[in-house]
Amino acid sequence: GSRFEGVTSGPPDPYYELLEAFEADTSDTKVNLWVRAYRVELQPFVLNVVKKAEKLMLEKGEDKEYLPMDGLAEFNKVTAELLFGANNPVIQEGRVATVQALSGTGALHLAAAFIHGNFPNAKALISSPTWSNHKTIFDDAKVPYSEYRHYDPISKQLDFDGMIADIKAAPHGSFVLLHGCAHNPTGMDPTPDQWGKIADIIQEKNHIPFFDVAYQGFASGNLDADAYAVRLFVERGLELLVAQSYGKNLGLYGERIGAINIVCSSSETAVRVKSQLKWLIRPEYSNPPLHGARIVANVVGDPALFNEWKQEVELISRRLKSLRQRLFESLSCKDRSGRDWSFIVKENGIFSLIGLNKAQISNPHGSAYQIAHALAVSVFLILHAFWYVLHCVFVRLSQIDNMRNKWHVYMIKDGRMSLGGLSLSQCEYLADAIRDSFH
Ligand code: PLP
C-alpha cells in the first residue's frame, strides 16, 4: 500500500472544473464567461508594449542570475510610482515598503501573512461579494475575517449605506480590504465623494485600509484616475497596504508579476516592515522571477513605452465598454419582460453580476440553509412553499445550468460574467441565452 493512502482529495476548484467542461464542449457557439483574462475576439492578447520591451531585453542580452529577496529594484521603484504618482511625498520621504510579489495573489498572500505575524489579534473585513480567493487567502494565513455589504442585488447598485454601517461596526483597527477600482465581481465602484466618506469612517475607527489593485486602468481607461482611491487615502495621511497585479493591465497573467506596498508613517518603520516581508519570502521561494519584473520596469520606466501603454490600456477599457453597450442593446431590444439591463453599462471593468437574488449573495448559510428554510416554510404554507421551493431551489439554481446545458454558455455559480472572454459577435447569442435563462 501507499504511504499516502490516508491522503484525502482536496476540494475541487470550480474555476478549473469549468475549464475542463468548456474545453470538452464541442459546440460551435460555446461562450466562455468565466475566463479571467482579457481576450480580443476570443484570442489571447499580448500588448504591443510588452513585445517591444521583450525585444529590448533580448537585445540587451540580460543575465539570468537571482534577484534579491525583495525583487528587482527598478521594478519596485516604478511600480510604487505608478500607484502613488512619482511626486507623491510618501515616495520622496521613503515611507513605502515595496516588495515584488507573485502577481496579485502572491501580494495579497504576503500581506495576509504579514498581518498574521505582526497583528495576531487583528481582524480583516472583506466585501460581500468579493473575489473568492480573498477568503481562501485569509483562511490560509489564519487571519479571521467578516464581510461588509458592498452591493445590493435588487437595485444592482453599490450598497453604500450598508458598506459604511458594516465598516463602522467592525472592531477598531480592522484591516479593511477594498477593491481599488473595477470591483470583482460586481463592477460597481464608489464615487470619489463616497471614497471620501469611506476614508472618514476608516479614520474614525482607526482601521487599516488594505487595497487590492488588480485592474488599474481597466475602469476608466486612465491609470492615474484608477489610482484615485489609493492616492486619496494616502493624502489623508493614513498608513495602508496595497497589493498590485500586472496580470490584467499589462496582460502578464502567466508571468506572475505584482507587488505589495506598505505605506508607513516614517521611513524607519518602512525599513523594518520591508525586512519582515523579506523574511516571509525567504522560506517560501527565496526570490521572485525576473522576466515579468523586467518587462514592467522597461515599460513603466521608459517615457515612450509608458505613453504607448497608456494608449493601449485606454483602448482595452473602451473595448470593454463597447462590449457592455452591445450586450445591453441586444438584451434591451429582445427582452420584453421590462427588466432594466442598464446596470451592464453602468459597471466598470471586466465583470458583471447577473440574475442573482439577495439570498444567493448575502446569505451566510449557503444553499443548504436556503433549502432547509424553504422546506420549513412549506409546513405552514404548503402551496406557496411548493412554488417557493421549486422557484428558489430549482429554478434559480438551474438558470446557470440552463445557460450551460442548453446554450453552451459557461459561467461560475455566483452568476458572474467576465466580458474578457466575449467577442462582439457573440453578444446577440449571449443576449438570447440570458433572456431564455434569467426571465
Ligand atoms: N484581486 C482580484 C480582485 C482579482 O480579480 C484577481 C484576479 O482575478 C487578483 C487579485 C489576482 O490576480 P493575479 O494573481 O493573476 O495577479
Please, which pLDDT band fits residue 396 given cuts at 50, 70 and 90?
low
Higher per-residue pLDDT: 291 or 360: 291
Q: Evaluate if residue 394 carries a pLDDT over 70.
A: no
* 203/174 Cα distance (integer angstroms): 11
pLDDT at 207: 98
ipTM reported for the complex, 2 dp: 0.99
Best mean pLDDT range from 71-75, 349-353, 393-397, 424-428: 71-75
Task: Report the nearest-CA residue for atom 12 of ligand 1.
Answer: 104
Residue 249 beta carbon below 6 angstroms from any ligand 1 atom: no
Q: Which atom of ligand 1 is nearest to the CA of 106?
A: 14
pLDDT at 400: 83
Residue 212 beta carbon below 6 angstroms from any ligand 1 atom: yes
Distance 245 CA to ligand 1 centre (A): 7
pLDDT at 42: 79
pLDDT at 361: 37
Distance 324 CA to ligand 1 centre (A): 21
Identify the weakest region by mean pLDDT among 57-66, 265-274, 339-348, 369-378: 369-378
Residue 420 beta carbon below 6 angstroms from any ligand 1 atom: no
Q: Tell the residue number behind the cell numbers 511626486, with chain if given.
A: 87
Residue 127 beta carbon below 6 angstroms from any ligand 1 atom: no
Task: Tell me if residue 34 is catalytic.
Answer: no
Phi-psi map region of 85: left, alpha, beta (phi>0 left; psi -120 to 50 alpha): left
Distance 26 CA to ligand 1 centre (A): 29
Task: Report the nearest-CA residue for atom 16 of ligand 1.
Answer: 104
The CA dihedral of 356, 359, 365, 368, to the nearest 10 degrees, is: -80
Task: Tell me if residue 226 is catalytic.
Answer: no
Task: Report the nearest-CA residue for atom 4 of ligand 1.
Answer: 214
Mean of per-residue pLDDT scores for the chain = 89
Q: Evaluate if residue 374 carries a pLDDT over 60.
A: no
Please, which pLDDT band fits residue 44 given cuts at 50, 70 and 90?
confident
pLDDT at 158: 95
Distance 383 CA to ligand 1 centre (A): 45
Higher per-residue pLDDT: 53 or 333: 53
Once rounded to an integer, what is the mean pLDDT over residues 87-96? Answer: 97
Residue 258 beta carbon below 6 angstroms from any ligand 1 atom: yes
Task: Report the nearest-CA residue for atom 1 of ligand 1.
Answer: 214
Residue 135 beta carbon below 6 angstroms from any ligand 1 atom: no
Q: Evaluate if residue 395 carries a pLDDT over 80.
A: no
**Cα 128 to the chain's mean position, in Å?**
12
Residue 255 beta carbon below 6 angstroms from any ligand 1 atom: no
Are 216 and 162 within 8 A, CB to CB? no
Residue 185 beta carbon below 6 angstroms from any ligand 1 atom: no
Higher per-residue pLDDT: 343 or 47: 47
Say what the pTM is. Answer: 0.89
Distance 5 CA to ligand 1 centre (A): 35
Residue among 212, 226, 309, 407 flagged as catalytic: 212
Q: Which atom of ligand 1 is nearest to the CA of 246?
A: 16
Are 321 and 155 within 8 A, CB to CB? no
Residue 251 beta carbon below 6 angstroms from any ligand 1 atom: no
- CA distances from residue 190 to 151, 186, 266 in whole angstroms, order as listed: 11, 12, 29
Once rounded to an integer, what is the mean pLDDT over residues 234-247? Answer: 98
Q: Which atom of ligand 1 is nearest to the CA of 253?
A: 15
Pocket test for ligand 1, best of 102, 178, 245 (most atoms within 8 A of CB): 245
Once rounded to an integer, what is the mean pLDDT over residues 4-14? Answer: 89
Q: Evaluate if residue 218 carries a pLDDT over 50.
A: yes
Does the CA dihedral 355-147-203-120 come out positive or negative? negative
Once rounded to an integer, what is the mean pLDDT over residues 407-427? Answer: 85
Q: Which atom of ligand 1 is nearest to the CA of 36?
A: 8
- pLDDT, tens digit, for every residue of 325-343? 998 888 888 767 777 888 8
Task: Report the nearest-CA residue for atom 6 of ligand 1.
Answer: 214
pLDDT at 164: 98
Q: Any residues with CB less than 8 A from the CB of 102 and at least 6 apart, and which?
A: 109, 256, 258, 285, 288, 289
- pLDDT, tens digit, for every residue of 155-199? 889 999 999 999 999 999 999 999 999 999 999 999 999 999 999
Please, which pLDDT band fits residue 362 given cuts at 50, 70 and 90?
very low
Task: Tell me if residue 131 is catalytic.
Answer: yes
Residue among 52, 70, 131, 166 flagged as catalytic: 131
Distance 385 CA to ligand 1 centre (A): 40
pLDDT at 360: 40
Q: Evaluate if residue 116 carries a pLDDT over 60.
A: yes
Q: Evaluate if residue 389 carries a pLDDT over 70.
A: no
Bridge partners for 100 per DSSP: 259
SS3 258: strand
Distance 105 CA to ligand 1 centre (A): 6
Task: Report the nearest-CA residue for atom 9 of ligand 1.
Answer: 104
Residue 36 beta carbon below 6 angstroms from any ligand 1 atom: yes
Q: Evaluate if residue 279 carries a pLDDT over 60.
A: yes
